[in-house]
Amino acid sequence: MLRYVVALCLLALAWAQDCQVANFQVMQNFDKTRYAGTWYAVAKKDPEGLFLIDNVVAQFIINEDSKMTATAKGRVIILNNWELCADMLATFEETNDPAKFRMKYWGVSSYLQTGNDDHWVIDTDYDNYAVHYSCRLVDSDGTCLDSYSFIFSRHATGLRPEDQVKVTQKKMDICLLGKYRRVTHTGFCESS
Ligand code: RTL
């Protein structure tokens, strides 16, 4: 009996949850200067199609004109079975919300993917963890049909246990709890 009650409560909670992309809370008073530097992806939720597989490391830079740019590396498999380290570059266009950017990205080599995605910082403490989110396609009901998200850590070894709790709550808030996979770091991109 108790099992049914718990199941019903969980179901009610899921229904009550607001999965409208426009209502997702992002980082308040986001400070891109504090966000600059190296972030190691420790978990990710993939979008549809080709994507970075593992060994994902991003470096955010704030230029003299105060604009944010980034580089990112990660293992990919393209053209069916060509495994390589993708060397990516990105520029960010600011919006009315300091935590919401439009990201233009492309590969250092022309055969790598180019794109123009939303880049939202959902939460960060700047020194340990960050939760990133991007919705590529919003459904007619306002929920996301094709999203990707990275959980970043300042430490290559992973998240501190105290941050895991906060990150789990944020995964739930953006309706992606249970959809992440761990991102391993094997040194694949370190030589290139
Ligand atoms: C993240 C933030 C830092 C800068 C960039 C990012 C995203 C990179 C992506 C790369 C996809 C590459 C593929 C290559 C195969 O051709 C969000 C890490 C650029 C989405 C699929």
Which residues lie with the beta carbon below 6 Å from any ligand 1 atom? 50-52, 58, 70, 72, 76, 78, 86, 88, 90, 105, 112-113, 150
Please state the domain count of the chain: 1
Q: Which of 38, 48, 91, 105 most suits a substitution to test ligand 1, by most atoms within 8 Å of the C-beta? A: 105
Residue 158: give the domain boundaries. 17-182
pTM of the model: 0.92
pLDDT in tens, 107-134: 999 999 999 999 999 999 999 999 999 9
Please report whether residue 125 resides in a domain: yes
Q: Alpha-carbon distance 74 to 40, whole Å? A: 10
Task: Write the CATH number for 78.
Answer: 2.40.128.20
Do you know the residue count of the chain? Answer: 192
Please report whether residue 171 resides in a domain: yes
Q: In what helix (H) or strand (E) does residue 64 lie, and over which residues does it extend?
A: none
Please report whether residue 153 resides in a domain: yes
pLDDT in tens, 16-44: 689 999 999 999 999 999 999 999 999 99
Please report whether residue 3 resides in a domain: no
**In this model, does residue 4 exceed pLDDT 80?**
no
- Bridge partners, 116 (sequence order): 104
Alpha helices in 30-118 (DSSP H): 32-35
Please report whether residue 2 resides in a domain: no
126: alpha, beta or left? (left if phi > 0; alpha if psi -120 to 50): left
Token reading at 19? 């999965």
Residue 179 CB-density burial (10 A; 0-12 exposed, 13-18 middle, 19+ buried): middle
